[in-house]
Structure 1
Amino acid sequence: MVSLETAEELGITVAAVPSYSPYAVAEYAIGMIQMLNRKLYRAYNRTRECNFEIDGLMGMNLYQKTIGILGTGSIGSLFCKIMKGFECKLLAFDTKPNPDLSDFVEYKSIDEVLAASDILTIFLPLFPSTHHLINSENIFKMKKGSYLINVSRGGIIDSKALIKALNHDHFSGVALDVYEYEDSIFYKDRSTSGVQDETMMRLLGNPKVVVTSHMAFFTQEAVSAIMSGTITSLSQFLNNEKVENAIKLEEIKLR
């Protein structure tokens, strides 16, 4: 969203709020899993129309299922701890394994995680190294009939590859709180004008797909932390102090 190269050339400080509420996103991912798995969104729509049939709404127990986790930083690690309570088998991929999870999370290669997971969840930042990490070359390595949950960044999944996999009925369900080309769509009311994005319309038109508007973070606690962190950075900048959460271009390039 920001050209760090241009900002550096112009001497503009760019700051972020690196961690505002990992609990919000981790808990939201659990909600998306259960919404997909237990078909809650479809059940809600049916009963609103006074249709109380349950055909086609069967889900599965999470107990003893294999959950794949891509990224075990602050959010991913909290998600692992929550899923431990469901007594799931947890497989993770991360370039820097989290030692705090060693007792109940097994680290594998990304291909091994994709192949074994009944549910794959993504908690990675978007860097050049993670852009299209899920792509046409590996998306079909995922277990057929599995679930895919992305609450991190849209660009981690190649949207064209995802559409192709959905067209081949490869997934039981896909839940996306983020989308590769969301900038021109999310946080706007398009109910009258419609969405001029063929890929998004294909996703919205698929009954196995749930899309929300990048709102996993959206809790009272998270918004309060974002405001506080932003004010702190502004205050440090205006007082000619070191901006602790300034983004350094050289560090981004290393990732």
Structure 2
Amino acid sequence: MKVAFFNTKPYEQNSFEAQLKNSNHKFTFFEAKLDKETAKLAEGHDAVCSFVNDHLTPLVLKRLKNCGINNIVLRCAGFNQVDLQSVKELGIKICRVPAYSPEAVAEHAMALILALSRKTHKAYNRVRENNFSLAGLTGFNLHGKTVGVIGTGAIGKAFAKIALGFGCEVIAFDLYPNEKLKKIGVKFLDLQEVLDKSDIVSLHCPLTAQTHHLINKDSLATMKDGVTLINTSRGGLINTKDAISGLKHKKIGFLGIDVYEQEENLFFENLSEEILMDEQITRLMTFPNVLITGHQAFLTHEALAEITRVTLFNLDQLEAGVSLENEIKV
């Protein structure tokens, strides 16, 4: 297949080119995001490869269809950016990468917790300025803390195991409790109980209509004062305005996020020479107890290799016309 690859980053292109040597597919790499203006670049191709921040709206999908595109492969797990009704109406086949490296994201979530709990990021900056004072760097032990895991799919499961390894009491909420996790000591409770009892809450659930702004002023009100909140899943799970209020009033003791609900025009770009117009993320960055990374939780060599492998596998199946293992059912 001839594939139009949108929103290309150097690390992705390197990963794909390494595996394309053993593939019959031909890729055209475009730096541009996929939108209503750039969709025309797909003309002359058999398929489109897009990322999580390429919004496949009804108009974009219609323009892709007009370019002869009947196949889309997402190089990500999430698909809330896709208008599935339009996909169905247009007869487009669409696949995703359901799991590439759960451990990569889970380990990053724990890295955020460790950095915040021991203020490593602040200590790093101090030492570089020859300041070896320990004042203000007192942290807290993870051992014995109650960690709440919201969502125990592949990533949440991996994170729960890591937290258990630190000697934490792990409680969790999921619509479908994981029996294997129960056997190793994870207690499944209802959502409100998990939020109420946790010293640390880590979000690992998908973004849906039901989970949008799961963390808001009402849910925060019942949580422990000084709670540590971690989000490596989807930015829309947290109401940013309410989180800022929670930080100001010390309801949230520490906030670590790798995703942000308005990240579309910020993350994955170098904006170091520009003035950020997003007032909410600018405000978040003023808090000393907030640590933000730019959607890099997935970014390991192992994860990139698996994303590439599964994407090429999806293209193989689409080309062969066989039943699609990773198709998004609509």
Q: TM-score, normalised by structure 2?
A: 0.73
Which amino acid letter does the alignment assign opposite residue 151 of structure 1?
Answer: T
Task: Report what 1:202 is aligned to.
Answer: 283
Which amino acid letter does the alignment assign opposite residue 92 of structure 1?
Answer: A
Task: Report what 2:175 is aligned to.
Answer: 95
Which amino acid letter does the alignment assign opposite residue 178 of structure 1?
Answer: V
How many Å separate the matches in 1 of 2:165 and 2:313? Answer: 36
Q: CA deviation at 1:181?
A: 1.1
How many Å separate the matches in 2 of 1:132 and 1:71? Answer: 15
Give identity over the alignment, percent. 45
SS of 1:216's equivalent? Answer: coil
How many Å separate the matches in 1 of 2:158 and 2:87? Answer: 34
Task: Report what 1:132 is aligned to.
Answer: 213
Task: Report what 1:174 is aligned to.
Answer: 255
Superposed, which structure 2 residues align to 1:138-217 within 5 Å? 138-217=219-298
| In the alignment, structure 1 residue 243 sits paired with structure 2 residue 285 | no
Write out per-residue CA displacement over residues 220-248 of structure 1, whole angstroms, 9 at most, x where no aligned residue.
11000000111111121122222221112
Task: Report what 2:186 is aligned to.
Answer: 105
Write out per-residue CA displacement over residues 5-34 of structure 1, whole angstroms, 9 at most, x where no aligned residue.
222221122211000001111111111110
| In the alignment, structure 1 residue 219 sits paired with structure 2 residue 315 | no
Stretches of structure 2 lacking an aligned partner (at least 5 in a row): 1-80
- Which runs of at least 4 in structure 1 moved beyond 3 Å after TM superposition? none
SS of 2:253's equivalent? Answer: strand
Task: Report what 1:8 is aligned to.
Answer: 88
How many Å separate the matches in 2 of 1:131 and 1:14? Answer: 24
- Which of 95, 101, 106 is the matching residue for 1:21? 101
Q: Is the 8 A contact 2:236 2:260 kept in 1?
A: yes
Q: Is the 8 A contact 2:220 2:251 kept in 1?
A: no
Compute the RMSD of aligned alpha carbons. Answer: 1.1
How many Å separate the matches in 2 of 1:175 and 1:235? Answer: 38
How many Å separate the matches in 1 of 2:205 and 2:89? Answer: 28
Stretches of structure 1 lacking an aligned partner (at least 5 in a row): 250-255
Task: Report what 2:129 is aligned to.
Answer: 49
Q: CA deviation at 1:107?
A: 1.2
Bigger RCO (CA 8 Å, 6+ sep): 1
Which amino acid letter does the alignment assign opposite residue 158 of structure 1?
Answer: N
SS of 1:169's equivalent? Answer: coil
SS of 1:129's equivalent? Answer: coil
Q: CA deviation at 1:216?
A: 0.7
Q: Is the 8 A contact 2:214 2:238 kept in 1?
A: yes
How many Å separate the matches in 2 of 1:11 and 1:237? Answer: 13
How many Å separate the matches in 2 of 1:106 and 1:240? Answer: 44
SS of 1:138's equivalent? Answer: helix
How many Å separate the matches in 1 of 2:211 and 2:252? Answer: 22
Q: CA deviation at 1:185?
A: 0.8
SS of 1:161's equivalent? Answer: helix
What is the aligned residue count? 249
Which amino acid letter does the alignment assign opposite residue 247 of structure 1?
Answer: I
SS of 2:247's equivalent? Answer: helix
SS of 2:170's equivalent? Answer: strand
Write out per-residue CA displacement over residues 190-220 of structure 1, whole angstroms, 9 at most, x where no aligned residue.
1111322111111112111111011111111
Task: Report what 2:116 is aligned to.
Answer: 36
